[in-house]
Amino acid sequence: MQKRGAGNRRKLAGFTAAMAASCTIVLGTGGTAWAASAGEGRGYALEVKAGVSLVGLGLDIPLVDTGLQSAPPAFNVSGKMLAADIGGAKDSLISLKAGVLSASTGSSLAQNRVETTAGISDINLSIAGVVAIKADVLQSQVHSTCVNGAIQPTGAATIENLSISVLGIPVPIPLNLPPNTGLNTGILEIVFNEQTPVDGGMEVNALRIGAKIPTLADVNLVLGHSQASLADCAAAQGDTTPPEVDITTSPVINADNQDAYIVAGSCTAGDGNVKVTIGKAPKFVTMTTACNAAGAWTAPAANVASLPLGPVDITATQTDAAGNTGTRSVITTKTTAAATDTTAPVVAVDNAAAINAGNEHGYTVSGTCTAGDGDVRVRIGTAPNSVEAIAACGSNGQWTTAATDLGGLPAGTVPIQASQTDAAGNTGTANVSVTKADTTLPVVTVGTPPQINAGNQGAYILSGTCTVGAGSVTVTIGTAPNAVVATAPCDSNGHWTTPATDVSALPAGTVGIHVAQTNAAGNSGTADATVTKVDTTPPTTPSVTVVNPPTIDAGNQGGYILSGTCTAGGGSVTVTIGTAPKAVVVTVPCDGNGHWTTPATDVSGLPKGSVTITVTQTQATGDVDSSTATTTKTTPGAGDAPGSDSVAAIPVGGAWASLLLLGAAALGLRRRGRQPGPQRSGRHHD
């Protein structure tokens, strides 16, 4: 019995490394903060450009292209393709087979950076059938950062297990390929780790191949293109932190207080006066009050009788000596009712959980209130990053906010204030504080997993990338109750590899792989993949046979019949009489008694002599049973004329192929403008 299964696919190590968030604003000497106002990034795995249409090639359409991305706002774009097969026809100029194609680009202007990565794994490239290039990985990376008032772009290429041959003859390759290493024969140009400066950044091609073919085409092939740039690196001198100002007292405006209306709040002591504006143009009142040493302010009694009835905006601003301004706005109401009620509502916060990655995008707060005294206004956080929510006070004296997104709040202590104002303008408040944990998720990936088979199931190994400093990686292979769990450390380079793990108990078929990394704050990053486990049951004796095939002669060659045995319920039987290209193929059912018989079949075209008969049956498990037998044909076939079986020679070459060979004698990698270094081969990392 023969088994079928896909071959192992090599992993593309470190191929989807995430954008590192390792720093905030970088400070230079003298307390200067440096910041970039804009940036761009783009990556694509493969692009082919040619002057004419070439058979089998899609031109000028980059594969796995992030597109040109611009910040602000921040961007994080990635893409992946599991395989590529381009060209391959005998008249194709370029033939390319590759494994995983991937590209990603991301920005964080708050961290003064744009990063891009792109590349291909398992490359098998042929140019005109003359030049062959193979590599495990061709990948480019570009980083553009703002440091100490200067844009600092860096780029590199990762080249693993590179080999080049011309007409089957290997070409020695230096161990370490510096930037812009290659050759140029005038007809053929090959450049590895091609680095080109651009405004505020850099472009890197892991590999670029150019072919100038007179009278035919100019071809440019790029594998692994990355670019990243920043628009500027401006300095912001001195203090850049705005004051924190808030409004804590803003009663309803009514007939009793409109002539001497008082607003109060908190402020940053030492950062100057607080400016208060009540109402909007054309009718508003503005005043300035001091921020005392305790960080509080109270505005002078203001006459707001001229303000229109309805909602009234109140804004407080504080500007420090460095020109940084903090602002807080609330909305109250103006009514003509008299304030006969002086009792403030009683409001409390009973349930306010710590903020974490699991609830920060749907956070709720609840508590008690005074039924009939209006809605509860909830403010979470401190200006300018605070978030407000309105909760109805139910008839049972309970309130709960709707799910609120707190993703924009910084980590640390977060104040929560709930307030309720009745119709007479009396306000009751309650204050609590909670903690917001670091909600940054680790970034973890799993490389292309190898197929599980009889050879590796007892010591199966997986690997991938992880976030340095975020703890070990937990790898779950399969599903309960047969799941196997392995733990792998995350090394200083951001990679993990499981120990050899026994997965032989997993059932055959599709196997899920789940990878998780949890940091000290309890935030988990995950990644998933699937792999196939082939049926590892040892093969058994074939159960499909052909019984005593008769000799083929003039009497039966026009209606030849065969029969045999098979596995009942195991699917149809395929009978192949003779060998290619003149074989005759017949598919017949396997009956309930485990027998098969072909209809009368014309085999007169088979050549005279020995004839091989092959029968196969594919089981529901995917296993293929087969057996063979031989017979003899005594009569000549239609194709038995002398010389009829010969194969015509396929012309090779062309004008352009000859021109390529002109540069073959000079083929040998060299640094542009320099003599070649020591001739070595191996893995290449730039």
Residue 66 has pLDDT above 70, yes or no: yes
**CA–CA separation, 25 vs 36, rounded Å?**
10
Confidence (pLDDT) at 31: 38
**660 three-state secondary structure:** helix
For residue 504, give the amino acid letter. S
Confidence (pLDDT) at 597: 96
Residue 543 has pLDDT above 50, yes or no: yes
Residue 443 has pLDDT above 70, yes or no: yes
Tokens of 102: 């991937």
**CA–CA separation, 355 vs 365, rounded Å?**
11
Per-residue pLDDT tens digits for 98-137: 888 899 999 887 667 899 999 999 998 887 777 888 989 8
Confidence (pLDDT) at 541: 56
CB burial class (10 A; 0-12, 13-18, 19+) of residue 391? Answer: buried
Q: Which band of pLDDT confidence, cut at 50, 70 and 90, is reported for residue 60?
A: low
Cα–Cα distances in Å, from 306 out to 13, 259, 261, 550? Answer: 71, 9, 12, 115
**CA–CA separation, 624 vs 618, rounded Å?**
4
Q: What is the number of other CB atoms lying within 10 angstroms of the CB of residue 208?
A: 19
Sign of the C-alpha dihedral computed for residues 537, 538, 540 and 542 taken in this order: positive
Return the percentage of the chain with pLDDT > 90, whole number: 44
Q: Which band of pLDDT confidence, cut at 50, 70 and 90, is reported for residue 415?
A: very high
**597 three-state secondary structure:** strand
Average pLDDT over residues 281-296: 91
Per-residue pLDDT tens digits for 605-654: 999 999 999 999 987 666 788 999 999 999 998 767 654 443 333 333 44
For residue 588, give the amino acid letter. V
Residue 515 makes CB contacts below 8 A (sequence gap 6+) with 444, 445, 446, 464, 473, 474, 475, 476, 526, 527, 528, 529
Residue 673 makes CB contacts below 8 A (sequence gap 6+) with none
Residue 341 has pLDDT above 60, yes or no: yes
Q: What is the number of other CB atoms lying within 10 angstroms of the CB of residue 626?
A: 17
Confidence (pLDDT) at 630: 95
CB 95 within 8 A of CB 125: yes
For residue 546, give the amino acid letter. V
For residue 327, give the amino acid letter. T
Distance, C-alpha 141 to centroid of its chain: 15
Average pLDDT over residues 597-601: 95
More confident residue, 614 or 337: 614
Average pLDDT over residues 524-546: 81
DSSP count for the chain of H helices, then E strands? 1, 48
418 DSSP 8-state letter: E
Residue 185 has pLDDT above 80, yes or no: no
Query: Angle 158-163-169 (CA atoms, 0-180°, nearest 5)?
Result: 165
CB 487 within 8 A of CB 504: no
**CA–CA separation, 12 vs 464, rounded Å?**
9
Q: Concatenate the DSSP letters of all residues of 183-204 into one string.
A: EE-SSEEEEEEEEEEETTEEEE
Residue 29 has pLDDT above 50, yes or no: no
**436 three-state secondary structure:** strand
Q: Which band of pLDDT confidence, cut at 50, 70 and 90, is reported for residue 367?
A: very high
More confident residue, 106 or 30: 106
